[in-house]
């Protein structure tokens, strides 16, 4: 096998999402050639799957500086930095143009199936660090291919591996059998087919993060227009002062508004909360409806649909031949894990980190973006941009810049999720240019309601 010298090889970036494309932009800025392998047919394929959901971060917080520098000569116009993009906006107005500038450096329909050292499985020590990486991937037609790399940046995210309903971390008994009535994403209720699935139905929402808040708010809004629509909110913990996030004290107003909207859904009678409930089994009754059974034996009243929003997990299967140093709990790099432990940190208390904290026993391999956080739910896009800035500097030999990680994150509230859709114009006038900018306007059941539209 004739392999080019390592110095002549590109850095492989896995995933053409926000952080993967930002990594490519930083590498280009440093004079390093990237090759981005994206499993989907377009940039931001995972983001497009939640295109109906609006972020709780503004445009000013979700555009990477190096990417903006790369886009500027094309005449790209940055959206108003004080407004809130939807997932669809983010993909179409930023990610796809950025991928277009990168051109042939982005390869679509390329699903990575394995990463290793050339001629070395994970057991072999001899000359390991001097061997280039070999990356196997499959194309849309099933054809197999491989490329070689000097370094690997895995920005594939966690979207493809959502957590199960089961309280033990395993799928609940019966969960797979009931898959036709279980969803693992926030529903797009603007889609007529999806709306029909939940309209007039009783739906259980399992989870306590931003995605669960969003689903509850959407269902509460639907309940105002469709009689018989009701939500059952299942939480593994009790309801306390922190359950709904930072509220009006949140430095990201839309994030605070999100928690207030979920609270309004409960207070307004559109959702009933069941606390201290860990799902063990999902059964069907004689009418085909689902009965959620807890570890303590509680059997909840039948529901028509279940939405499981219990977080995401990193897919590490294609990295099996690499020597990764991961925390046994969070599945995040060992040096990063204590900095992002959700038992100790919110978004704003995460310490700035870069190449040093993201390194592994396997030299020149980095997990970045949401995947770097493993199972921790506290990730924000601006954190990922700072990560790849540091890694690109490190790979370019600028170690001083790699260690200079400066990041101030908004404090309080929940993270790792997205915001609600736009309010009517009256809500926007109350304070803050875009979706959910005014928490007080999100009193579900009042004349101001959650509405769709970009």
141-151 pLDDT, tens per residue? 999 999 999 99
Contact (CB, 8 A) for 95 and 17: yes
pLDDT by residue (tens digit) across 279-307? 999 999 999 999 999 999 999 999 999 99
Provide the percentage of residues in the chain whose pLDDT is more than 90: 73
Provide the pLDDT for residue 57: 85
Q: Angle at Cα 353 formed by Cα 352 and Cα 355, nearest 5°?
A: 155
Mean pLDDT of the 232-252 span: 64
- For the residues of 128-157, what is the DSSP string, one character each? GGGSPEEEEEE-TTS-EEEEEESEEEE---
Work out the pLDDT band at 441, boundaries 50, 70, 90. very low
Residue that wins the pLDDT comparison between 454 and 9: 9
Q: Which two tokens stand for residue 240?
A: 């306390």
pLDDT by residue (tens digit) across 318-362? 999 999 999 999 999 999 999 888 777 655 567 779 999 999 999
What backbone torsions phi and psi does residue 120 show, to the nearest 5 degrees?
A: -135, 120
pLDDT by residue (tens digit) across 178-191? 999 999 999 999 99
Q: Which two tokens stand for residue 147?
A: 């490329």
Provide the pLDDT for residue 47: 97
Contact (CB, 8 A) for 188 and 214: no
Is the per-residue pLDDT at 248 higher than 60? no
* pTM for this predicted structure: 0.85
Is the per-residue pLDDT at 135 higher than 50? yes
Provide the pLDDT for residue 426: 29
Please report, for residues 37, 43, 112, 245, the alpha-carbon distance to residue 18 in angstroms, rounded to integers and kept in the order given.
13, 9, 18, 25
Q: Rounded mean pLDDT of the chain?
A: 86
What backbone torsions phi and psi does residue 356 show, to the nearest 5 degrees?
A: -60, -50
Cα 116 versus chain centre, distance: 26
Among 154-168, 379-393, 439-453, whose mean pLDDT is lowest?
439-453
Provide the pLDDT for residue 348: 53
pLDDT by residue (tens digit) across 170-228? 999 999 999 999 999 999 999 999 999 999 999 999 998 888 988 999 999 999 999 99
Residue that wins the pLDDT comparison between 452 and 377: 377
Contact (CB, 8 A) for 104 and 118: no
Is the per-residue pLDDT at 137 higher than 70? yes
Among 65-69, 79-83, 215-219, 428-432, whose mean pLDDT is lowest?
428-432
Work out the pLDDT band at 241, boundaries 50, 70, 90. low
Contact (CB, 8 A) for 295 and 94: no
């Amino acid at each position: 096998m004739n392999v080019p010298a390592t110095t002549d090889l590109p850095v492989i970036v896995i995933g053409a999402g926000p952080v993967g494309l930002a990594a490519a932009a930083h590498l280009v800025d440093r004079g390093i050639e990237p090759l981005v392998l994206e499993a989907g047919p377009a940039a931001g394929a995972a983001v497009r799957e939640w295109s109906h959901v609006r972020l709780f971060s503004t445009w000013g917080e979700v555009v990477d500086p190096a990417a903006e520098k790369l886009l500027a000569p094309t005449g790209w116009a940055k959206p108003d930095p004080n407004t809130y993009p939807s997932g669809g906006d983010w993909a179409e107005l930023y990610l796809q143009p950025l991928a277009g500038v990168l051109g042939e450096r982005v390869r679509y329909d390329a699903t990575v199936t394995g990463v290793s050292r050339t001629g070395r499985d994970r057991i072999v020590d001899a000359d390991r660090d001097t061997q280039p990486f070999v990356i196997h991937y499959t194309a849309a037609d099933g054809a197999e291919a491989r490329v070689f790399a000097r370094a690997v940046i895995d920005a594939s995210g966690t979207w493809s591996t959502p957590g199960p309903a089961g309280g033990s971390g395993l799928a609940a008994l019966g969960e797979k059998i009931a898959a036709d009535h279980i969803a693992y994403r926030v529903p797009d209720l603007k889609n007529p087919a999806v709306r029909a699935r939940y309209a007039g139905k009783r739906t259980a929402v399992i989870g306590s993060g931003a995605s669960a808040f969003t689903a509850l708010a959407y269902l509460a809004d639907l309940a105002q227009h469709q009689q018989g629509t009701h939500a059952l909110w299942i939480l593994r913990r009790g309801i306390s002062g922190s359950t709904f996030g930072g509220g009006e004290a949140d430095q990201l107003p839309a994030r605070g508004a999100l928690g207030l909207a979920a609270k309004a859904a409960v207070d307004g009678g559109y959702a009933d909360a069941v606390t201290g409930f860990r799902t063990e089994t999902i059964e069907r009754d004689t009418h085909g409806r689902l009965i959620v059974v807890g570890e303590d034996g509680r059997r909840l009243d039948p529901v028509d649909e279940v939405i499981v929003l219990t977080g995401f997990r990193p897919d590490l299967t294609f990295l099996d031949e690499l020597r990764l140093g991961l925390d046994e709990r969070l599945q995040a790099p060992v040096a990063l894990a204590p900095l992002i432990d959700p038992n100790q940190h919110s978004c704003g208390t995460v310490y700035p980190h870069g190449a040093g904290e993201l390194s592994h026993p396997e030299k020149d391999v980095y997990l970045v973006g949401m995947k770097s956080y493993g199972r921790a739910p506290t990730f924000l896009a601006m954190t990922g941009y700072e990560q790849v800035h540091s890694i690109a500097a490190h790979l370019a030999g600028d170690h001083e810049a790699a260690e200079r990680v400066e990041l101030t994150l908004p404090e309080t509230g929940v993270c790792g999720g997205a915001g609600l859709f736009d309010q009517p114009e009256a809500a926007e006038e109350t304070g803050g240019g875009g979706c959910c900018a005014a928490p007080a306007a999100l009193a579900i059941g009042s004349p101001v309601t959650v509405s769709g539209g970009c």
